A = this chain, B = another copy of it.
Amino acid sequence: MELPSLQNPLLATYAIAASLMILKAVAMSWLTVIRMMQEKGGYRSPEDLRRTPLNPNPDPKQLAPNERVERVRRIHQNDLENIPFFLVSGFLFVLTGPPVWLAWLLLYGYVLSRLLHFAAYFTAQTHDMRATFWTVGSVILIVMTLWTLVMALLT
Contacts and interface: CB of A to CB of B under 8 A. Distances in A.
Nearest to A135: B33
A17 B47 CA distance: 30
A29 B81 contact: yes
A52 B22 contact: no
B54 A97 contact: no
A67 B50 CA distance: 17
A140 B22 CA distance: 13
A91 B79 CA distance: 20
Determine how many copies of this chain the complex contains: 3
A15 B81 contact: no
Interface string A14-27: 01101110110110
Given A30-B138, A81-B76, A148 B52 contact: no
A102 to B, nearest CB: 15
A112 interface: no
Interface in A132-155: 138, 141-142, 145-146, 148-149, 151-153, 155
Interface in A56-89: 67, 71, 74, 76, 80-85, 87-89
Interface centre among A19, A55, A91 (most CB of B within 10 A): A19
A46 B152 CA distance: 40
A85 B22 contact: yes
A45 to B, nearest CB: 6
Interface in A1-55: 1-8, 10-12, 15-16, 18-20, 22-23, 25-26, 28-30, 33, 43-48, 50, 52-55
